[in-house]
Structure 1
Amino acid sequence: MTDTGSEVVTYEVHGPTAIIRLNRPQYRNAQNSKVTYALDAAFTRAVDEDQVKAIVLAGNGDHFCAGHDIGSPERDIHESFERKAVIWWDHVGAQGVDSRFARESEVYLGMCRRWREIPKPTIAMVQGACIAGGLMLAWSCDFIVASDDAFFQDPVVMMGIPGVEFFSHPWVTNPRAAKEWLYTGDRMPAARAHELGMVNHVVPRAELEEHTLQIAERIARMPRLGLALTKKAVNQAEDLQGLRAGMDSVFGLHHAAHAHNAEVQGDSLAGVDVKKIRDEEKK
């Protein structure tokens, strides 16, 4: 196993498949900016390596990804970020929307859109928690293979925010399911996600990696250009169904909610942290 120059992401190749793993298991693989750019470097490496025909995104440990880092000691929200997905000024030292909009346009929404366009097939291999920002990472991939103990959740309505930045909910499920899921903040079991079409396969945890790699190897037999053009064709069809425009409109609502929270409560997250989310789940 080799890494990408950062311990927060690992990179390995199995035959024609690159496996990129989030590597912050002590924080349930919560995503900070360091993770974002390590992921981007790993994806770029996989695209550039000719022997890699398919890419699997996974998480080390018990969980795929518990979302954006909103409270670990390594949270880096106030640090400078690279600008690869969008061209904007640095947010460090800026205030209010000037800071939040710049950061989230780049590190969250922009990067997920960038990864959605990776020309090689990408598979999210999900076990355990796939929450909020974790959904964004999985949804950036072409499809999802989940273990039978996986669950999916977007609890940010608790913060007064209408879903995560990469707002795919009505497209990956359906509008009524998306409303119920967001309104309640409940966990969606892998079996239900499969029923709704968000997940392609659900397998026992012990078989997750083997099953995912078998699919990747089957995909790898197809011609590279054919796969890339097919991916572009389906993505374009999805955008014609309103996905990209819908994300843009909801991103504005997302930041209106952040601004409201900051003005009324003095905190853009409305005082919600990991502990409060977990406490709410126990009720």
Structure 2
Amino acid sequence: MTEAEVDVVTYEVQGTTAIVRLNRPQYRNAQNSAVTYALDAAFTRAVNDDEVKVIILAGNGDHFCAGHDIGTPGRDIDKSFERKAVIWYDHVGAQGVDARFARESEVYLGMCRRWREIPKPMIAMVHGACIAGGLMLAWSCDFIVASDDAFFQDPVVRMGIPGVEYFAHPWVTNPRFAKEMLYTGERVPAQRAYEVGMVNHVVPRAELEERTLAIAERIGQMPRIGLTLTKKAVNQAEDLMGQRAGMDSVFGLHHAAHAHNAEVGGDSLGGVNHKTIRDAEEKK
């Protein structure tokens, strides 16, 4: 069975909780556009189901998400898609920044912002790797429950790029730790992520799903309108602390880096791919 014949995202409901799982385990759940829109469809389904009070985002296989798809056979960067997060022209057929800015405004930054505003609580249930684009997915959720074997990493400074498109680093941790995380590109163990405030709970891997579902069910006992307004209140407070404007400013720097790489080396990713990142990790 080919990947095209398999759902890249799975959906199930347990009690009052919808569980949405990334389902490309053979590629450590790398996120391509097909995954983005399958996630959006699953989240929309959960929002429209009055029986669902809480949404859990997780990953099938050994890892939560290894990041954006920058090298699998399913990479679909040159395919058109239905724009839902922003009103923009099609990136296919455009060149340079015109193409990259259009695509990433929709598929990455725009979609994560769209999901952040989902009017039901969302919990990221993270195990194994949560790298780069995986961070964006987890950070779009309201909080994170991680297994003790989970790790978090944003290695894109290796590409000359100042962090992933959904640049939440200084808000989900703190400015000093955000700099350390980005400057070194090293893995942040779950316990350290908990200590700096990125993660809410660290639990044994064998207990991850049970513990996360228990939290979700407790939340689900609250009235829907109370949860929705509370989520909006906290999100608005974050934006008043500069998160949205900060992301907009860094998104421009992100694309300046892409353009620099393309001009100097002919590759917007600076010659970095999943293999070079893995090789660099193995040398440490």
What is the TM-score of this pair, normalised by structure 2? 0.97
Mapping for residues 18-97 of structure 1, pairs under 5 Å: 18-97=18-97
Paired AA for residue 80 in structure 1: S
Question: For residues 200 and 223 of structure 2, what CA distance do their matches in structure 1 show?
Answer: 22
Mapping for residues 118-197 of structure 1, pairs under 5 Å: 118-197=118-197
Is the partner of 1:197 in helix, strand or coil?
coil
How big is each residue's C-alpha offset from its partner over 1:96-150, in whole Å with a ceiling of 9 and x where there is no partner? 0010000000000000000000000000000000000000000000000000000
Question: For residues 258 and 82 of structure 2, what CA distance do their matches in structure 1 show?
Answer: 22
Alignment RMSD (CA, Å): 0.8
Paired AA for residue 108 in structure 2: Y
Question: For residues 164 and 245 of structure 2, what CA distance do their matches in structure 1 show?
Answer: 15
Partner residue, 1:243: 243
Q: Which runs of 5+ in 1 are unaligned?
A: none
Paired AA for residue 219 in structure 2: I
CA contact (8 A) 1:6 1:38 kept: no
How big is each residue's C-alpha offset from its partner over 1:179-236, in whole Å with a ceiling of 9 and x where there is no partner? 0110000000000000000000000000000000000000000000000000000000
Partner residue, 1:12: 12
Partner residue, 1:265: 265
Question: For residues 175 and 204 of structure 2, what CA distance do their matches in structure 1 show?
Answer: 29
Equivalences, count: 279
What is the TM-score of this pair, normalised by structure 1? 0.98
Q: Which runs of 5+ in 2 are unaligned?
A: none
Question: For residues 137 and 157 of structure 1, what CA distance do their matches in structure 2 show?
Answer: 19
Question: For residues 33 and 181 of structure 1, what CA distance do their matches in structure 2 show?
Answer: 26
Is the partner of 2:207 in helix, strand or coil?
helix
Question: For residues 186 and 150 of structure 2, what CA distance do their matches in structure 1 show?
Answer: 13
Question: For residues 196 and 273 of structure 2, what CA distance do their matches in structure 1 show?
Answer: 29
Question: For residues 177 and 119 of structure 1, what CA distance do their matches in structure 2 show?
Answer: 30
Q: What is the CA distance between 1:282 and its match in structure 2? A: 2.0
Question: For residues 183 and 279 of structure 2, what CA distance do their matches in structure 1 show?
Answer: 17
Question: For residues 261 and 249 of structure 1, what CA distance do their matches in structure 2 show?
Answer: 19
Is the partner of 2:100 in helix, strand or coil?
helix
